[in-house]
Structure 1
Amino acid sequence: MTVNTVPFTFTRSGDRLVGTLYLPVGEPTGVVVTTGPLTSVKEQAAGVYAEALARRGFAALAFDHRTFGESAGEPRQLEDPLGKAADISAAVSALEADERFTGKPVVALGVCAGGGYMARAVADDPRLRAFAGVAGVYADAAANPADPAVAERGRLARERRLATGEVETIPAVAADNGDVAMPLTEAFEYYGTPRGVVPNYTNGFAVESFEHTAGFDAQEAAARLSVPFLLVHSENALVPPWAHKFYAGVASPKSELWLDSVGQIDFYDDPRLIEPAADAAAELFRGVCAVA
Protein backbone atom coordinates (compact mmCIF):
# COMPACT_ATOMS: atom_id res chain seq x y z
CA MET A 1 0.00 0.00 0.00
CA THR A 2 1.23 3.49 -0.88
CA VAL A 3 2.12 5.74 2.04
CA ASN A 4 2.27 9.53 2.07
CA THR A 5 4.16 11.57 4.64
CA VAL A 6 3.35 15.06 5.88
CA PRO A 7 4.78 17.17 8.73
CA PHE A 8 2.83 17.24 11.99
CA THR A 9 3.63 19.66 14.80
CA PHE A 10 2.16 20.25 18.24
CA THR A 11 3.19 21.76 21.54
CA ARG A 12 3.75 20.75 25.13
CA SER A 13 4.63 23.16 27.93
CA GLY A 14 5.21 25.85 25.33
CA ASP A 15 7.71 23.79 23.34
CA ARG A 16 7.11 22.89 19.70
CA LEU A 17 7.36 19.19 18.90
CA VAL A 18 7.99 18.08 15.33
CA GLY A 19 6.68 14.86 13.85
CA THR A 20 6.02 13.04 10.62
CA LEU A 21 2.57 11.72 9.90
CA TYR A 22 2.41 8.59 7.75
CA LEU A 23 -0.88 8.38 5.86
CA PRO A 24 -2.39 5.56 3.83
CA VAL A 25 -4.25 6.26 0.63
CA GLY A 26 -7.92 6.56 1.49
CA GLU A 27 -9.65 6.62 4.84
CA PRO A 28 -7.43 5.46 7.72
CA THR A 29 -8.71 2.68 9.95
CA GLY A 30 -7.45 4.49 13.05
CA VAL A 31 -4.57 6.60 14.30
CA VAL A 32 -1.36 5.25 15.84
CA VAL A 33 1.04 7.25 17.97
CA THR A 34 4.52 5.72 18.23
CA THR A 35 7.54 6.24 20.43
CA GLY A 36 10.97 4.73 20.15
CA PRO A 37 14.19 3.77 21.92
CA LEU A 38 16.47 5.74 24.22
CA THR A 39 17.81 8.95 22.56
CA SER A 40 16.20 8.03 19.24
CA VAL A 41 14.48 10.30 16.74
CA LYS A 42 11.47 9.96 14.47
CA GLU A 43 13.45 8.77 11.44
CA GLN A 44 14.63 5.66 13.29
CA ALA A 45 12.57 2.83 14.84
CA ALA A 46 9.44 4.87 15.60
CA GLY A 47 9.24 5.97 11.98
CA VAL A 48 9.90 2.47 10.70
CA TYR A 49 6.88 1.13 12.59
CA ALA A 50 4.75 4.17 11.75
CA GLU A 51 5.43 3.56 8.06
CA ALA A 52 4.70 -0.16 8.41
CA LEU A 53 1.36 0.56 10.07
CA ALA A 54 0.46 3.14 7.43
CA ARG A 55 1.01 0.43 4.84
CA ARG A 56 -1.60 -1.55 6.77
CA GLY A 57 -4.19 1.19 6.58
CA PHE A 58 -3.53 3.36 9.63
CA ALA A 59 -2.50 6.97 10.01
CA ALA A 60 0.61 6.83 12.18
CA LEU A 61 2.66 9.51 13.89
CA ALA A 62 6.37 9.37 14.72
CA PHE A 63 7.76 12.46 16.42
CA ASP A 64 10.84 13.86 18.09
CA HIS A 65 10.32 14.10 21.83
CA ARG A 66 11.12 17.32 23.64
CA THR A 67 14.87 18.03 23.72
CA PHE A 68 15.56 15.64 20.82
CA GLY A 69 15.92 16.05 17.08
CA GLU A 70 13.91 18.87 15.53
CA SER A 71 11.78 19.43 18.62
CA ALA A 72 12.36 22.24 21.09
CA GLY A 73 13.14 21.89 24.77
CA GLU A 74 16.07 22.28 27.12
CA PRO A 75 18.43 20.85 28.18
CA ARG A 76 19.12 19.06 24.93
CA GLN A 77 19.24 15.26 24.94
CA LEU A 78 17.39 14.97 28.25
CA GLU A 79 15.97 11.44 28.60
CA ASP A 80 12.95 11.78 30.89
CA PRO A 81 10.59 8.77 30.81
CA LEU A 82 7.63 10.53 32.43
CA GLY A 83 8.28 13.60 30.33
CA LYS A 84 8.14 11.45 27.23
CA ALA A 85 4.85 9.95 28.44
CA ALA A 86 3.53 13.50 28.76
CA ASP A 87 4.71 14.21 25.19
CA ILE A 88 2.66 11.23 24.04
CA SER A 89 -0.47 12.59 25.71
CA ALA A 90 0.15 15.96 24.03
CA ALA A 91 0.40 14.13 20.71
CA VAL A 92 -2.93 12.41 21.38
CA SER A 93 -4.56 15.79 22.05
CA ALA A 94 -3.21 17.15 18.77
CA LEU A 95 -4.32 14.10 16.79
CA GLU A 96 -7.80 14.21 18.29
CA ALA A 97 -8.07 17.90 17.39
CA ASP A 98 -7.15 17.20 13.75
CA GLU A 99 -10.28 17.17 11.59
CA ARG A 100 -8.80 14.45 9.38
CA PHE A 101 -9.16 12.02 12.27
CA THR A 102 -12.48 12.99 13.77
CA GLY A 103 -14.03 9.93 15.38
CA LYS A 104 -10.96 7.76 14.77
CA PRO A 105 -9.63 5.82 17.78
CA VAL A 106 -6.05 6.57 18.80
CA VAL A 107 -3.86 3.56 19.63
CA ALA A 108 -0.25 3.24 20.72
CA LEU A 109 2.97 1.45 19.82
CA GLY A 110 6.25 1.68 21.71
CA VAL A 111 9.64 0.21 20.80
CA CYS A 112 12.43 -0.69 23.25
CA ALA A 113 12.59 1.91 26.04
CA GLY A 114 9.55 3.44 24.36
CA GLY A 115 7.63 0.31 25.30
CA GLY A 116 8.07 1.12 28.96
CA TYR A 117 7.35 4.81 28.43
CA MET A 118 4.25 3.99 26.41
CA ALA A 119 3.03 1.63 29.12
CA ARG A 120 2.96 4.54 31.54
CA ALA A 121 1.31 6.82 28.97
CA VAL A 122 -1.43 4.29 28.18
CA ALA A 123 -2.09 3.52 31.85
CA ASP A 124 -2.46 7.24 32.56
CA ASP A 125 -4.36 8.37 29.44
CA PRO A 126 -7.70 6.64 28.77
CA ARG A 127 -7.87 8.12 25.28
CA LEU A 128 -5.33 5.52 24.08
CA ARG A 129 -7.47 2.56 23.13
CA ALA A 130 -4.90 -0.21 22.62
CA PHE A 131 -1.18 -0.74 23.12
CA ALA A 132 1.48 -2.79 21.35
CA GLY A 133 4.97 -3.03 22.85
CA VAL A 134 7.72 -4.17 20.46
CA ALA A 135 10.91 -5.41 22.14
CA GLY A 136 9.82 -3.27 25.07
CA VAL A 137 12.07 -2.61 28.03
CA TYR A 138 9.67 -2.73 30.97
CA ALA A 139 11.92 -1.42 33.73
CA ASP A 140 11.39 -3.09 37.09
CA ALA A 141 12.32 -0.76 39.94
CA ALA A 142 11.58 -3.42 42.55
CA ALA A 143 14.00 -5.93 41.05
CA ASN A 144 16.47 -3.32 39.81
CA PRO A 145 16.36 -0.36 42.20
CA ALA A 146 18.07 2.90 41.37
CA ASP A 147 21.79 3.03 42.02
CA PRO A 148 22.15 5.99 44.41
CA ALA A 149 25.46 6.97 42.82
CA VAL A 150 23.89 7.12 39.35
CA ALA A 151 20.94 9.19 40.55
CA GLU A 152 23.33 11.48 42.42
CA ARG A 153 25.40 11.98 39.30
CA GLY A 154 22.26 13.12 37.53
CA ARG A 155 21.27 15.45 40.34
CA LEU A 156 24.69 17.09 40.44
CA ALA A 157 24.63 17.60 36.66
CA ARG A 158 21.23 19.30 36.92
CA GLU A 159 22.41 21.56 39.73
CA ARG A 160 25.53 22.47 37.75
CA ARG A 161 23.43 23.40 34.72
CA LEU A 162 21.14 25.57 36.81
CA ALA A 163 24.13 27.30 38.38
CA THR A 164 26.32 27.73 35.30
CA GLY A 165 24.21 27.00 32.22
CA GLU A 166 26.54 24.16 31.28
CA VAL A 167 24.86 20.94 30.13
CA GLU A 168 27.00 17.91 30.89
CA THR A 169 26.63 15.21 28.24
CA ILE A 170 28.11 11.82 27.50
CA PRO A 171 27.79 9.83 24.27
CA ALA A 172 24.73 7.67 23.81
CA VAL A 173 27.01 5.00 22.33
CA ALA A 174 30.71 4.47 21.69
CA ALA A 175 32.84 1.73 20.17
CA ASP A 176 34.52 1.01 23.50
CA ASN A 177 31.23 0.93 25.48
CA GLY A 178 32.80 3.22 28.04
CA ASP A 179 31.02 6.05 29.87
CA VAL A 180 27.95 6.01 27.65
CA ALA A 181 24.18 5.82 28.02
CA MET A 182 23.92 2.50 26.16
CA PRO A 183 27.01 0.31 26.76
CA LEU A 184 25.94 -2.31 24.24
CA THR A 185 27.98 -3.31 21.21
CA GLU A 186 24.84 -3.85 19.16
CA ALA A 187 23.64 -0.35 20.10
CA PHE A 188 26.90 1.14 18.79
CA GLU A 189 26.58 -0.94 15.63
CA TYR A 190 23.27 0.83 15.01
CA TYR A 191 23.56 4.37 16.42
CA GLY A 192 27.30 4.69 15.84
CA THR A 193 27.43 3.56 12.21
CA PRO A 194 25.63 4.35 8.95
CA ARG A 195 23.27 1.46 9.73
CA GLY A 196 21.18 3.62 12.04
CA VAL A 197 22.56 7.14 11.94
CA VAL A 198 20.34 9.79 10.36
CA PRO A 199 21.10 13.53 10.01
CA ASN A 200 18.54 14.39 12.70
CA TYR A 201 20.19 12.16 15.34
CA THR A 202 22.67 13.38 17.96
CA ASN A 203 24.87 10.83 19.69
CA GLY A 204 24.46 12.39 23.11
CA PHE A 205 22.81 11.91 26.49
CA ALA A 206 22.40 14.65 29.07
CA VAL A 207 23.94 13.33 32.29
CA GLU A 208 21.09 14.78 34.34
CA SER A 209 18.89 12.23 32.57
CA PHE A 210 20.13 9.72 35.14
CA GLU A 211 18.03 11.50 37.75
CA HIS A 212 14.95 10.53 35.70
CA THR A 213 15.93 7.13 34.29
CA ALA A 214 17.42 5.66 37.47
CA GLY A 215 14.57 4.02 39.28
CA PHE A 216 12.03 4.51 36.50
CA ASP A 217 9.41 1.79 36.77
CA ALA A 218 7.22 0.50 33.96
CA GLN A 219 6.01 -2.62 35.75
CA GLU A 220 3.50 -0.75 37.90
CA ALA A 221 1.60 0.22 34.75
CA ALA A 222 0.81 -3.40 33.87
CA ALA A 223 -1.98 -3.79 36.41
CA ARG A 224 -3.38 -0.39 35.47
CA LEU A 225 -3.79 -1.15 31.77
CA SER A 226 -7.46 -1.27 30.87
CA VAL A 227 -7.12 -1.66 27.10
CA PRO A 228 -6.06 -4.56 24.86
CA PHE A 229 -2.31 -5.18 24.93
CA LEU A 230 0.05 -6.95 22.56
CA LEU A 231 3.55 -7.97 23.65
CA VAL A 232 6.05 -8.61 20.84
CA HIS A 233 9.42 -9.76 22.13
CA SER A 234 12.28 -12.22 21.79
CA GLU A 235 14.20 -14.30 24.27
CA ASN A 236 17.32 -12.76 22.68
CA ALA A 237 16.13 -9.16 23.11
CA LEU A 238 16.73 -7.03 26.18
CA VAL A 239 15.58 -8.33 29.57
CA PRO A 240 13.00 -10.99 28.63
CA PRO A 241 12.20 -11.60 32.33
CA TRP A 242 10.87 -8.06 32.57
CA ALA A 243 8.70 -8.66 29.50
CA HIS A 244 7.33 -11.88 30.95
CA LYS A 245 6.63 -10.21 34.30
CA PHE A 246 4.91 -7.23 32.67
CA TYR A 247 2.73 -9.49 30.54
CA ALA A 248 1.76 -11.58 33.56
CA GLY A 249 0.70 -8.43 35.38
CA VAL A 250 -1.68 -7.24 32.67
CA ALA A 251 -5.32 -8.00 33.49
CA SER A 252 -6.88 -6.49 30.36
CA PRO A 253 -7.26 -8.55 27.16
CA LYS A 254 -3.78 -9.48 26.00
CA SER A 255 -1.82 -11.46 23.44
CA GLU A 256 1.87 -12.14 22.85
CA LEU A 257 4.12 -12.87 19.90
CA TRP A 258 7.61 -14.20 20.55
CA LEU A 259 9.98 -13.90 17.60
CA ASP A 260 13.49 -15.21 17.00
CA SER A 261 15.74 -12.15 16.88
CA VAL A 262 19.50 -11.92 16.93
CA GLY A 263 19.32 -9.40 19.76
CA GLN A 264 17.47 -6.18 20.52
CA ILE A 265 18.47 -3.83 17.76
CA ASP A 266 17.40 -5.94 14.78
CA PHE A 267 13.82 -5.15 15.84
CA TYR A 268 14.60 -1.63 14.59
CA ASP A 269 15.53 -2.43 11.01
CA ASP A 270 15.11 -6.11 10.09
CA PRO A 271 11.97 -6.73 7.99
CA ARG A 272 11.89 -10.34 9.25
CA LEU A 273 10.94 -8.91 12.64
CA ILE A 274 9.24 -5.66 11.66
CA GLU A 275 6.72 -7.22 9.29
CA PRO A 276 5.27 -9.86 11.67
CA ALA A 277 5.32 -7.36 14.53
CA ALA A 278 3.42 -4.82 12.43
CA ASP A 279 0.99 -7.50 11.23
CA ALA A 280 0.19 -8.46 14.82
CA ALA A 281 -0.16 -4.84 15.93
CA ALA A 282 -2.42 -4.03 12.97
CA GLU A 283 -4.64 -7.02 13.78
CA LEU A 284 -5.03 -5.82 17.37
CA PHE A 285 -5.69 -2.25 16.33
CA ARG A 286 -8.23 -3.19 13.66
CA GLY A 287 -10.23 -5.13 16.24
CA VAL A 288 -10.31 -2.14 18.55
CA CYS A 289 -11.17 0.31 15.78
CA ALA A 290 -13.94 -1.90 14.45
CA VAL A 291 -15.92 -1.65 17.67
CA ALA A 292 -15.11 1.99 18.46
Structure 2
Amino acid sequence: MTISTVPFIIAHAGDRLEGTLYLPAGAPTAVVVTTGPLTSVKEQAAGVYAAAMARRGFAALAFDHRTFGASGGTPRQLEDPLGKASDIAAAVSALRLDERLAGKLVVGLGVCAGGGYMARAVADDPRLRAFAGIAGVYPAAAPDPAVIERGRRARERRLATGFVETIPAVAVDNGDVAMPLREAFEYYGTPRGAVPNYSNAFAVESYEHTAGFDAQEAAARLAVPFLLVHSDRALAPALARKFYATVAAPKSELWLDSAGQIDFYDEAGLIDPAADAAAALFQDAVG
Protein backbone atom coordinates (compact mmCIF):
# COMPACT_ATOMS: atom_id res chain seq x y z
CA MET A 1 0.00 0.00 0.00
CA THR A 2 1.32 3.41 -0.93
CA ILE A 3 0.18 6.74 0.45
CA SER A 4 -0.07 9.97 -1.49
CA THR A 5 -0.05 13.09 0.68
CA VAL A 6 -1.47 16.17 -0.98
CA PRO A 7 -2.09 19.71 0.30
CA PHE A 8 -5.66 20.44 1.31
CA ILE A 9 -7.06 23.92 1.83
CA ILE A 10 -10.15 24.75 3.87
CA ALA A 11 -11.70 28.21 3.89
CA HIS A 12 -13.45 28.87 7.18
CA ALA A 13 -14.54 32.01 9.02
CA GLY A 14 -12.34 34.13 6.80
CA ASP A 15 -9.24 32.05 7.54
CA ARG A 16 -7.28 29.59 5.44
CA LEU A 17 -6.82 26.19 7.07
CA GLU A 18 -4.08 23.94 5.73
CA GLY A 19 -4.13 20.18 5.88
CA THR A 20 -2.65 17.03 4.43
CA LEU A 21 -4.90 14.54 2.70
CA TYR A 22 -3.62 10.96 2.87
CA LEU A 23 -4.88 8.86 -0.04
CA PRO A 24 -4.60 5.07 -0.24
CA ALA A 25 -3.39 3.37 -3.41
CA GLY A 26 -6.87 2.24 -4.39
CA ALA A 27 -10.35 3.70 -4.11
CA PRO A 28 -10.91 4.79 -0.49
CA THR A 29 -13.45 2.99 1.64
CA ALA A 30 -14.50 6.25 3.34
CA VAL A 31 -12.98 9.56 4.41
CA VAL A 32 -11.61 10.06 7.93
CA VAL A 33 -11.23 13.50 9.50
CA THR A 34 -8.68 13.44 12.31
CA THR A 35 -8.05 15.92 15.09
CA GLY A 36 -5.40 15.79 17.76
CA PRO A 37 -4.25 16.84 21.22
CA LEU A 38 -4.05 20.26 22.86
CA THR A 39 -1.88 22.72 20.86
CA SER A 40 -0.90 20.03 18.36
CA VAL A 41 -0.45 20.28 14.59
CA LYS A 42 -1.12 18.00 11.64
CA GLU A 43 2.35 16.45 11.58
CA GLN A 44 1.90 15.01 15.08
CA ALA A 45 -0.74 12.56 16.37
CA ALA A 46 -3.47 13.58 13.91
CA GLY A 47 -1.15 12.92 10.98
CA VAL A 48 0.10 9.66 12.46
CA TYR A 49 -3.44 8.32 12.65
CA ALA A 50 -4.37 9.73 9.23
CA ALA A 51 -1.45 7.82 7.72
CA ALA A 52 -2.46 4.70 9.64
CA MET A 53 -6.01 4.92 8.26
CA ALA A 54 -4.70 5.43 4.72
CA ARG A 55 -2.65 2.25 5.07
CA ARG A 56 -5.95 0.55 5.89
CA GLY A 57 -7.70 1.78 2.75
CA PHE A 58 -9.25 5.08 3.88
CA ALA A 59 -8.68 8.62 2.69
CA ALA A 60 -7.77 10.66 5.76
CA LEU A 61 -7.33 14.35 6.48
CA ALA A 62 -5.08 15.83 9.15
CA PHE A 63 -5.20 19.62 9.33
CA ASP A 64 -4.02 22.56 11.39
CA HIS A 65 -6.86 24.20 13.26
CA ARG A 66 -7.28 27.96 13.19
CA THR A 67 -4.49 29.82 14.99
CA PHE A 68 -2.15 26.78 14.88
CA GLY A 69 0.63 25.66 12.59
CA ALA A 70 0.31 26.67 8.94
CA SER A 71 -3.34 27.76 9.25
CA GLY A 72 -4.51 31.34 9.62
CA GLY A 73 -6.39 32.93 12.46
CA THR A 74 -5.65 35.11 15.46
CA PRO A 75 -4.78 35.28 18.26
CA ARG A 76 -2.15 32.64 17.61
CA GLN A 77 -2.17 29.49 19.75
CA LEU A 78 -5.77 30.02 20.91
CA GLU A 79 -7.19 26.71 22.13
CA ASP A 80 -10.95 26.91 21.62
CA PRO A 81 -12.73 23.53 21.80
CA LEU A 82 -15.97 24.68 20.20
CA GLY A 83 -13.99 26.60 17.60
CA LYS A 84 -12.10 23.41 16.79
CA ALA A 85 -15.39 21.52 16.47
CA SER A 86 -16.48 24.19 14.00
CA ASP A 87 -13.24 23.69 12.07
CA ILE A 88 -14.05 19.98 11.82
CA ALA A 89 -17.43 20.82 10.30
CA ALA A 90 -15.69 23.07 7.76
CA ALA A 91 -13.31 20.24 6.91
CA VAL A 92 -16.27 17.92 6.30
CA SER A 93 -17.78 20.49 3.92
CA ALA A 94 -14.51 20.80 2.02
CA LEU A 95 -14.04 17.04 1.75
CA ARG A 96 -17.56 16.55 0.42
CA LEU A 97 -16.78 18.97 -2.41
CA ASP A 98 -13.61 17.12 -3.45
CA GLU A 99 -14.31 15.20 -6.68
CA ARG A 100 -11.78 12.50 -5.74
CA LEU A 101 -13.95 11.63 -2.74
CA ALA A 102 -17.37 11.92 -4.36
CA GLY A 103 -19.99 9.76 -2.70
CA LYS A 104 -17.72 8.64 0.16
CA LEU A 105 -19.04 8.80 3.70
CA VAL A 106 -17.11 10.89 6.23
CA VAL A 107 -16.18 9.66 9.70
CA GLY A 108 -14.25 11.20 12.60
CA LEU A 109 -11.24 10.20 14.68
CA GLY A 110 -10.06 12.24 17.66
CA VAL A 111 -6.94 11.77 19.79
CA CYS A 112 -6.56 13.03 23.38
CA ALA A 113 -8.27 16.44 23.69
CA GLY A 114 -9.35 15.89 20.09
CA GLY A 115 -11.54 13.05 21.34
CA GLY A 116 -13.65 15.56 23.25
CA TYR A 117 -13.62 18.02 20.35
CA MET A 118 -14.64 15.33 17.88
CA ALA A 119 -17.41 14.17 20.21
CA ARG A 120 -19.00 17.60 20.05
CA ALA A 121 -18.50 17.81 16.28
CA VAL A 122 -20.10 14.40 15.66
CA ALA A 123 -23.01 15.08 18.02
CA ASP A 124 -23.71 18.34 16.19
CA ASP A 125 -23.12 17.24 12.58
CA PRO A 126 -25.07 14.29 11.08
CA ARG A 127 -22.69 14.21 8.10
CA LEU A 128 -20.12 12.45 10.33
CA ARG A 129 -21.26 8.84 10.26
CA ALA A 130 -19.04 7.20 12.89
CA PHE A 131 -16.59 8.25 15.60
CA ALA A 132 -13.45 6.73 17.12
CA GLY A 133 -11.92 8.33 20.21
CA ILE A 134 -8.29 7.33 20.82
CA ALA A 135 -7.05 8.01 24.37
CA GLY A 136 -9.73 10.68 24.39
CA VAL A 137 -10.19 13.28 27.10
CA TYR A 138 -13.90 13.91 27.77
CA PRO A 139 -14.21 16.65 30.39
CA ALA A 140 -17.39 17.55 32.18
CA ALA A 141 -18.39 21.17 32.71
CA ALA A 142 -16.71 22.05 36.00
CA PRO A 143 -15.19 25.47 35.42
CA ASP A 144 -12.78 27.06 37.88
CA PRO A 145 -13.82 30.72 38.10
CA ALA A 146 -10.23 31.82 38.75
CA VAL A 147 -8.98 30.07 35.61
CA ILE A 148 -11.75 31.58 33.49
CA GLU A 149 -11.00 35.00 34.96
CA ARG A 150 -7.34 34.66 34.01
CA GLY A 151 -8.40 33.96 30.44
CA ARG A 152 -10.82 36.86 30.41
CA ARG A 153 -8.16 39.29 31.60
CA ALA A 154 -5.76 38.10 28.91
CA ARG A 155 -8.42 38.57 26.22
CA GLU A 156 -9.30 42.05 27.41
CA ARG A 157 -5.62 43.02 27.51
CA ARG A 158 -5.18 41.82 23.91
CA LEU A 159 -8.19 43.78 22.73
CA ALA A 160 -6.92 46.91 24.51
CA THR A 161 -3.22 46.69 23.62
CA GLY A 162 -2.75 44.02 20.94
CA PHE A 163 -0.51 41.97 23.26
CA VAL A 164 -1.18 38.22 23.22
CA GLU A 165 -0.20 36.68 26.56
CA THR A 166 1.14 33.15 26.23
CA ILE A 167 2.62 30.50 28.46
CA PRO A 168 4.59 27.44 27.31
CA ALA A 169 2.58 24.40 26.35
CA VAL A 170 5.26 22.28 28.05
CA ALA A 171 8.48 22.86 29.99
CA VAL A 172 11.16 20.64 31.46
CA ASP A 173 10.30 21.75 35.00
CA ASN A 174 6.54 22.09 34.31
CA GLY A 175 5.50 25.19 36.29
CA ASP A 176 3.01 27.57 34.67
CA VAL A 177 2.38 25.57 31.50
CA ALA A 178 -0.67 24.32 29.63
CA MET A 179 0.29 20.64 29.98
CA PRO A 180 2.08 20.04 33.31
CA LEU A 181 3.08 16.46 32.54
CA ARG A 182 6.61 15.12 32.29
CA GLU A 183 5.59 12.82 29.46
CA ALA A 184 4.14 15.79 27.57
CA PHE A 185 7.50 17.60 27.73
CA GLU A 186 9.28 14.44 26.62
CA TYR A 187 7.15 14.54 23.46
CA TYR A 188 6.51 18.20 22.59
CA GLY A 189 9.69 19.52 24.18
CA THR A 190 12.12 17.17 22.43
CA PRO A 191 12.80 16.05 18.85
CA ARG A 192 10.49 13.09 19.51
CA GLY A 193 7.44 15.24 18.77
CA ALA A 194 8.54 18.88 18.32
CA VAL A 195 8.13 19.15 14.54
CA PRO A 196 9.06 22.45 12.80
CA ASN A 197 5.39 23.39 12.33
CA TYR A 198 4.74 23.22 16.09
CA SER A 199 4.93 26.19 18.48
CA ASN A 200 5.44 25.50 22.17
CA ALA A 201 2.94 28.13 23.28
CA PHE A 202 -0.59 28.42 24.64
CA ALA A 203 -2.58 31.65 24.54
CA VAL A 204 -3.69 32.38 28.09
CA GLU A 205 -7.08 33.59 26.93
CA SER A 206 -7.70 29.98 25.87
CA TYR A 207 -8.71 29.36 29.48
CA GLU A 208 -11.95 31.19 28.84
CA HIS A 209 -12.81 28.44 26.37
CA THR A 210 -11.16 25.32 27.78
CA ALA A 211 -11.98 25.67 31.49
CA GLY A 212 -15.71 25.20 31.02
CA PHE A 213 -15.68 22.90 27.98
CA ASP A 214 -18.13 20.02 28.31
CA ALA A 215 -17.57 16.93 26.17
CA GLN A 216 -19.66 14.67 28.39
CA GLU A 217 -22.91 16.28 27.27
CA ALA A 218 -22.25 15.02 23.73
CA ALA A 219 -22.32 11.37 24.78
CA ALA A 220 -26.11 11.13 25.05
CA ARG A 221 -26.48 12.95 21.72
CA LEU A 222 -24.27 10.62 19.69
CA ALA A 223 -26.40 8.90 17.07
CA VAL A 224 -23.70 7.04 15.15
CA PRO A 225 -21.44 4.07 15.96
CA PHE A 226 -18.75 4.91 18.51
CA LEU A 227 -15.44 3.26 19.40
CA LEU A 228 -13.61 4.05 22.62
CA VAL A 229 -9.91 3.17 22.71
CA HIS A 230 -8.27 3.91 26.05
CA SER A 231 -5.91 2.74 28.77
CA ASP A 232 -6.04 2.79 32.55
CA ARG A 233 -2.70 4.64 32.45
CA ALA A 234 -3.89 7.23 29.92
CA LEU A 235 -5.50 10.51 30.96
CA ALA A 236 -8.83 10.48 32.78
CA PRO A 237 -9.94 6.85 32.34
CA ALA A 238 -12.85 7.47 34.72
CA LEU A 239 -14.19 10.19 32.42
CA ALA A 240 -13.73 7.89 29.43
CA ARG A 241 -15.78 5.20 31.15
CA LYS A 242 -18.45 7.73 32.12
CA PHE A 243 -18.68 8.99 28.54
CA TYR A 244 -18.89 5.44 27.17
CA ALA A 245 -21.60 4.44 29.64
CA THR A 246 -23.75 7.39 28.58
CA VAL A 247 -23.57 6.67 24.85
CA ALA A 248 -26.80 5.02 23.67
CA ALA A 249 -25.73 4.56 20.05
CA PRO A 250 -24.03 1.32 18.94
CA LYS A 251 -20.67 1.25 20.69
CA SER A 252 -17.57 -0.81 21.32
CA GLU A 253 -14.47 -0.37 23.46
CA LEU A 254 -10.84 -1.44 23.37
CA TRP A 255 -8.68 -1.08 26.46
CA LEU A 256 -4.96 -1.29 25.81
CA ASP A 257 -1.92 -1.44 28.08
CA SER A 258 0.02 1.82 27.72
CA ALA A 259 2.80 3.45 29.70
CA GLY A 260 0.76 6.66 29.87
CA GLN A 261 -1.05 9.04 27.53
CA ILE A 262 1.60 10.20 25.10
CA ASP A 263 2.71 6.79 23.80
CA PHE A 264 -0.66 6.64 22.00
CA TYR A 265 0.79 9.35 19.74
CA ASP A 266 3.79 7.49 18.36
CA GLU A 267 4.06 3.89 19.60
CA ALA A 268 3.20 1.31 16.94
CA GLY A 269 2.14 -1.18 19.62
CA LEU A 270 -0.76 1.14 20.48
CA ILE A 271 -1.38 2.86 17.15
CA ASP A 272 -1.79 -0.35 15.16
CA PRO A 273 -4.47 -2.02 17.31
CA ALA A 274 -6.27 1.32 17.73
CA ALA A 275 -6.23 1.92 13.96
CA ASP A 276 -7.33 -1.66 13.26
CA ALA A 277 -10.30 -1.25 15.57
CA ALA A 278 -11.18 2.13 14.04
CA ALA A 279 -10.94 0.67 10.53
CA ALA A 280 -13.33 -2.13 11.49
CA LEU A 281 -15.80 0.39 12.95
CA PHE A 282 -15.64 2.63 9.90
CA GLN A 283 -15.94 -0.30 7.49
CA ASP A 284 -19.10 -1.47 9.26
CA ALA A 285 -20.49 2.08 9.25
CA VAL A 286 -20.21 2.41 5.48
CA GLY A 287 -21.57 -1.07 4.86
TM-score bracket, normalised by the shorter chain, equals over 0.9
Which position in structure 1 is the counterpart of 2:119? 119
Give 1:104 shift. 0.3
Give SS of 1:68's match.
coil
Which position in structure 2 is the counterpart of 1:108? 108
Give 1:2 shift. 1.2
Q: Quick check: 1:191 aligned with 2:208?
A: no
Give SS of 1:269's match.
coil
| Counterpart mapping for 1:169-180 below 5 A | 169-180=166-177
Give 1:100 shift. 0.9
| Counterpart mapping for 1:1-292 below 5 A | 1-141=1-141, 145-290=142-287
Give 1:26 shift. 1.4
Separation in structure 1 between the aligned mates of residue 7 and residue 283 of structure 2, nearest angstrom: 25
Give 1:52 shift. 0.1
Q: In structure 1, give the amino acid aligned to 2:228.
A: L
Deviations 1:106-140 (A, max 9, x none): 00000000000000000000000000000000001
Give SS of 2:46's match.
helix
Give SS of 1:273's match.
helix
- Report the TM-score, using the length of structure 1 for normalisation: 0.98
Separation in structure 2 between the aligned mates of residue 163 and residue 12 of structure 1, nearest angstrom: 26
List gaps (5 residues or longer) in structure 1: none
- Report the TM-score, using the length of structure 2 for normalisation: 1.00
Give SS of 1:25's match.
coil
Separation in structure 2 between the aligned mates of residue 247 and residue 202 of structure 1, nearest angstrom: 33
Give 1:215 shift. 1.2
Separation in structure 2 between the aligned mates of residue 149 and residue 215 of structure 1, nearest angstrom: 12
Give 1:230 shift. 0.1
Deviations 1:7-52 (A, max 9, x none): 0001110100000000001100000000000000000000000000
Separation in structure 1 between the aligned mates of residue 238 and residue 26 of structure 2, nearest angstrom: 41
Q: In structure 2, give the amino acid aligned to 1:151.
A: I
Give 1:286 shift. 0.6
Separation in structure 1 between the aligned mates of residue 252 and residue 259 of structure 2, nearest angstrom: 22
Q: In structure 2, give the amino acid aligned to 1:232.
A: V
Separation in structure 1 between the aligned mates of residue 172 and residue 58 of structure 2, nearest angstrom: 38
Q: In structure 2, give the amino acid aligned to 1:112.
A: C
Q: In structure 2, give the amino acid aligned to 1:184.
A: L
Separation in structure 1 between the aligned mates of residue 217 and residue 10 of structure 2, nearest angstrom: 29
Separation in structure 2 between the aligned mates of residue 289 and residue 58 of structure 1, nearest angstrom: 11
**What is the Cα-based RMSD across aligned positions, in Å?**
0.4
List gaps (5 residues or longer) in structure 2: none
Give SS of 2:194's match.
coil
